[in-house]
Amino acid sequence: MPLKIVYKPHTLHFRKEAGTSRGVLTQKTSWIVIITDTEKPGVAGYGECGPLPGLSIDDIPDFEAQLADICGIFNELDLDVFPFNLGIILEQLIPENLPSVRAGIEMALLDIMNGGQRVLFKNGFSGNGEGILMNGLIWMGSYENMLAQVEEKLAQGFTTLKMKVGAIDFEQECRILEAVRKRYDQSAITLRVDANGAFTTENAKEKLARLSAFDLHSIEQPIKAGQHAFMADLCGSSPVPVALDEELIGVNSYREKFALLKKLMPPFIILKPTLLGGFTATSEWIEIANRLHIGWWITSALESNIGLNAIAQFTAKFNNPLPQGLGTGQLYTNNFESPLAVENGHLYYKKELAWELPGHALAEPA
């Protein structure tokens, strides 16, 4: 059954500006990949290649040209896919410096292997209506705007909030955290913060000491990636538990992953499959983290509902009790309609709701 692949770019538009320490996003482009089987008309597997601007190692000018080349080779090979050769196809066909392409094509292959129904992993989330506990994301903005976001997330039933820090005035960020803590102690609301590497070696320890007054669960990536000696020091001494995020990007081999975590020994790591090369690669990080007794959770990376669905189903395999970062599906005005729904701080897959996806007869195979 020779498989064929096509792709189509899709620019997602944010409902509101999304502010981080790396800048403000108003739109983001993903490339939707669709795999069909010439012997099974009407059956298609969908995936999403969604490099994250300013962060993914494959956020490059010729991304689409490289994706087109890979799709062309894929179509020349008359491939068939089974569980035993999925990893071989990904490794041999897609360079490791294109992690979002690996992730997207892996999603589409898993989908078509399972009948092209958008159920990539069969578990309680995808099949039985079980929810995944999530954190509510607070984007950077003015003091008033961020407080309004906090109120909105609390009203939606979130009990864990994750606030972006590092772009506006640090004193204002502390005031927002203080305002939340005056109303809710840590037994009622869990607070996470994400610095996206905004702190420096000169001010990181001082800022972490200030932040510790707010009983935070963790801080993501306090300093820029690659400063291993200082990061190891922070992981061992910070009064706020450190969670590595950007630090993991571009670390590909199992040996490199193990060496990094063994050296830094963070309390937590945060896993974004699109940035790490897909589910096979992410599973390696999880296995190593479990061996080293490092906590972890999974987050989406501004994918559409196609990528978010796949990541959520993968996440549900592990029954991780920590709140996951999967709440990005409601960000866009032109997302794909899907069975995904957020209720009371949980993500659900409601099988009674329909998918509305781009048709798989998008173009002749590249």
Could you read off the pLDDT of 190-203 as tens digits, one per residue?
999 999 899 999 99
Do 13 and 135 fall into the same domain? no
Give the per-residue pLDDT at 360: 52
Do 95 and 140 fall into the same domain? no
Do 142 and 76 fall into the same domain? no
- Among candidates 235, 166, 247, 243, which has minimal Cα distance to 199? 166
Mind listing the pLDDT tens digit for each residue in 139-157? 877 888 888 888 899 999 9
Question: Is 356 a domain residue?
Answer: no
Indicate which residue of 28, 162, 164, 207 is catalytic: 164
Indicate which residue of 272, 317, 350, 351 is catalytic: 272
Do 314 and 165 fall into the same domain? yes
Question: Is 164 a domain residue?
Answer: yes
Do 157 and 246 fall into the same domain? yes
Give the per-residue pLDDT at 328: 63
pLDDT tops 50 at residue 188: yes
Lowest model confidence (mean pLDDT) among 186-190, 327-331, 338-342: 327-331
Query: Quick check: is 8 catalytic?
Result: no
268 DSSP 8-state letter? E
pLDDT band at residue 20 under the 50/70/90 scheme? low
Query: Quick check: is 164 catalytic?
Result: yes
Q: In Å, how far from its chain's centre is CA 21? A: 17
Average pLDDT, the chain: 92
Do 77 and 154 fall into the same domain? no
pLDDT tops 50 at residue 302: yes
pLDDT tops 70 at residue 24: yes
Q: Which one is predicted more confidently, 258 or 25?
A: 258
What is the residue range of 72's domain? 3-113
Answer whether 0.75 is exceeded by the pTM: yes
pLDDT tops 90 at residue 344: yes
Percentage, residues of the chain above pLDDT 70: 95
Do 15 and 145 fall into the same domain? no
Question: Is 361 a domain residue?
Answer: no
Number of structural domains found in the chain: 2
258 φψ region: left (φ > 0), alpha (ψ -120 to 50), beta (else): alpha
Do 138 and 213 fall into the same domain? yes
- Among candidates 201, 205, 321, 194, which has minimal Cα distance to 270? 194
pLDDT tops 50 at residue 261: yes
